[in-house]
Structure 1
Amino acid sequence: MGLLSTAHVHTGGFASRLSAAEGVEFVGVTDDDAERGREAATEHDTEFYEPSELVERVDAVIVSSTNTTHRRWVELAADTGVHILCEKPLATNVADARAIVDACDEADVQLGLCMPLPFSVPARRAKAAYDAGEIGDLRVAVGTNRAWLRDRHLTGWSADPEHAGGGAAMDHTVHIVNLVRWITGEEVVEVFAELSTMHDELTVEDVNVLSMELSGGSVFTLDGSWDRPDDWDYWGDATLNLIGTEGEISVDCFDQTLKRTREGAGVDGVYWGSIPDDGLLRDFIDAIENDRPPLTSGDDGFREAAVVCAVYESNERDEPVAVEY
């Protein structure tokens, strides 16, 4: 396996997992920015290749590029018959998302999305409880996926619309939408979005509050803002409350943390729980070996990208917008 681009903040985590994964040979990395790619290769004790050379050497890749270049990287891999695990969102517009899915279908390669939350232990237990009917009929879903702002958003490409395609809504809508779709089996049919920017340095939104309707008629609200202060003890959260006619399920995917005092002011959070990314990679490898779609497939990625596009349309029009799949 290899990495197509090292631009994403998750590159280090992917490289470490590929190096440690049983039955996987981490062949190398490539990048549009050769200097950045070579630095990453050195850091992770692997090789740097030109894009066309890397895809000829591997069976599968992880696309860890800027959001707006996903289509180009995926099509390069698909054209060579290489299976693909792509960072989220699948694309920053519906046309590119559709083209990505079609390219992989035509090439008969597996396409998965980097959606780790369904592999967290709390999420797995929540789905088991939901499937067992423990809360009755769903009435309300309330989610959060908040994060630090920090320097990577102020100075990195994730706050540059040319490379990211948007701000907090582009970054954080898809994770909880994915979790709700996976647990409940329902789709988002309508979105009303309220986006704003608290920090003058940004040209994209850092506040992202959504009110949505699900296909079963229930209400789904989501706060996916970059609003955690820099001195907060942990990067952010991923929570979901599902309220039904017979009860409630409360999920906190990253609550397994210890508070630790630091030298100087404040405390930091040390995560001790299971690592969802490990399950994500194992599922992708198993999908290739058993010729099945990954848990979060290309079609899931397309549908979640369509929700994000509806978010921006709703914010621009200042009214609810139907999601077009």
Structure 2
Amino acid sequence: MRAAARSIGWGVIAATSQVAQKAVLPAIVASPGARLVAVASERASAGGARFGATRAYRAYAALLDDPEVDAVYVPLPNSLHREWTERAAAAGKHVLCEKPLAPTAADAEAMTMACAVAGVTLLEAYMTPFHPRAEAVEALVASGRLGALRFARAAFTGVLDRPDDHRWRPEMGGGSLLDLGIYCVAPLLAAAGRPPARIEGAAALAKSGVDASFSGWLDFGDGFTAAIECSFDAPERQSLEIVGTEAALLVDRAYTPGFADVAITLRHRDGRVEELVTAGANPYQTMIEHFQAVVRGDAVPRRSCAETITLLAILERLREAAGLV
């Protein structure tokens, strides 16, 4: 009989962040084989008390020195991802780093190398692909049921009405494209199977200088083009549409799905409309469990750092096309 897998001790940096409190800390607590050992934040006790964290630190470095912490979740502002990922790797900790993995492909490459040299796992905390509906969308496109791909549109917009939010600050790696663009570009890149040959971009700037809204156009070749829309100052929209010669695929609330988000609409060439229903799930918990399986050597990453670097390079090209770099 195989022995039970050793539990993985988790530490969470910036534990009072919104994504940690609302999504990742609950997912860690709910995941089999996970132990919440420590949290770190300026308000240390507030960050992890209700989740049963064993210890609370005010200093991030103190958490990295904790010998019971095996893995660290890093939900810091984008500009700090590289520093704290590399420091965690140097301390021998596996790292789950919030998306985007880094502001640039070069930073992501350096982080990947640092973790490889240290012999620790690095994955980007991008939860959408871990939802059954996202898996079904990718499988549908790969199956050829849509026919030859022709058009796609991906939009993720909403209102970010907190003026002090770090996502409005250019020095913190802010901007709508870096924050939301990964959700839009990732399914398009997966559908095409290759980076775009041509790119165009345009941005509406906030007073701080970051892109409050961004629109982009990507030409993947072979007649397949795509448009993306990201915004911090527009009504909430989360839509994905991929159109082929045989069918069009439409998904609403495409990027932050939960248990109730299970529908895929297929509009066929002959006029038929087909509603597909997938299972619901908590993609954050599935992501945590997958990360732990990779750490234990029981799984290979569903999405490699190399794929992440390719996507970040596309975001950089979009920013360059819009004159943001």
Contact 1:130-1:184 within 8 A present in 2 as well: no
Contact 2:151-2:226 within 8 A present in 1 as well: yes
Q: Judging changes above 3 Å, is the alpha-carbon distance between structure 1 residues 40 and 118 closer, same or farther for their aligned structure 2 residues?
A: same
> Which moved further from structure 2: 47-56 or 116-125?
47-56
**CA–CA distance in structure 2, aligned partners of residues 205 and 188 of structure 1:** 22
Report deviation, 1:308. 1.8
The reply to whether residue 279 of structure 1 matches residue 281 of structure 2 is no
Q: 2:186 aligns with which of 178, 181, 185?
A: 178
Map 1:131-142 → 2, pairs under 5 A:
131-142=142-153
Contact 2:15-2:48 within 8 A present in 1 as well: no
**What amino acid is the match of 1:14?**
V
The reply to whether residue 222 of structure 1 matches residue 231 of structure 2 is no
1:37: which partner in 2?
44
> Which moved further from structure 2: 13-22 or 52-61?
52-61
Q: Deviation string for 1:179-209 (max 9, x for gaps)? A: 2233443323432111003x65x54221111
Unaligned runs of 5+ in 1: 230-235, 258-271, 319-325
Map 1:198-213 → 2, pairs under 5 A:
202-213=208-219
Q: Deviation string for 1:101-126 (max 9, x for gaps)? A: 11122222221111112122322221
> Which moved further from structure 2: 13-22 or 174-183?
174-183
Report deviation, 1:292. 4.3
3-state secondary structure, aligned to 1:90: coil
Unaligned runs of 5+ in 2: 1-9, 262-278
Q: Judging changes above 3 Å, is the alpha-carbon distance between structure 1 residues 287 and 101 closer, same or farther for their aligned structure 2 residues?
A: same
**What amino acid is the match of 2:290?**
D
**What amino acid is the match of 1:3?**
V
**CA–CA distance in structure 1, aligned partners of residues 80 and 34 of structure 2:** 26
Q: 2:322 aligns with which of 290, 315, 320?
A: 315
Q: Deviation string for 1:214-267 (max 9, x for gaps)? A: 2655211101112344xxxxxx3432211112222222224947xxxxxxxxxx
Contact 1:110-1:293 within 8 A present in 2 as well: no
Q: What CA RMSD, in Å, does the superposition of the two structures yield over aligned residues? A: 2.5
Q: Deviation string for 1:132-171 (max 9, x for gaps)? A: 21012212221111122222xx2211111121x1311111
The reply to whether residue 65 of structure 1 matches residue 76 of structure 2 is yes
3-state secondary structure, aligned to 1:147: strand
The reply to whether residue 251 of structure 1 matches residue 251 of structure 2 is yes
2:30: which partner in 1?
20
Report deviation, 1:58. 1.6
3-state secondary structure, aligned to 1:25: strand
TM-score by length of 1: 0.81
TM-score by length of 2: 0.81
Contact 1:190-1:214 within 8 A present in 2 as well: yes
**CA–CA distance in structure 2, aligned partners of residues 69 and 41 of structure 1:** 21
**CA–CA distance in structure 2, aligned partners of residues 40 and 92 of structure 1:** 26
Map 1:93-132 → 2, pairs under 5 A:
93-132=104-143
Contact 1:122-1:251 within 8 A present in 2 as well: no
**What amino acid is the match of 1:245?**
T
> Which moved further from structure 2: 83-92 or 121-130?
121-130
Map 1:54-93 → 2, pairs under 5 A:
54-55=63-64, 56-93=67-104
Contact 1:112-1:293 within 8 A present in 2 as well: no
**What amino acid is the match of 1:16?**
P
Paired positions, count: 290
1:232: which partner in 2?
none
**What amino acid is the match of 1:302?**
I
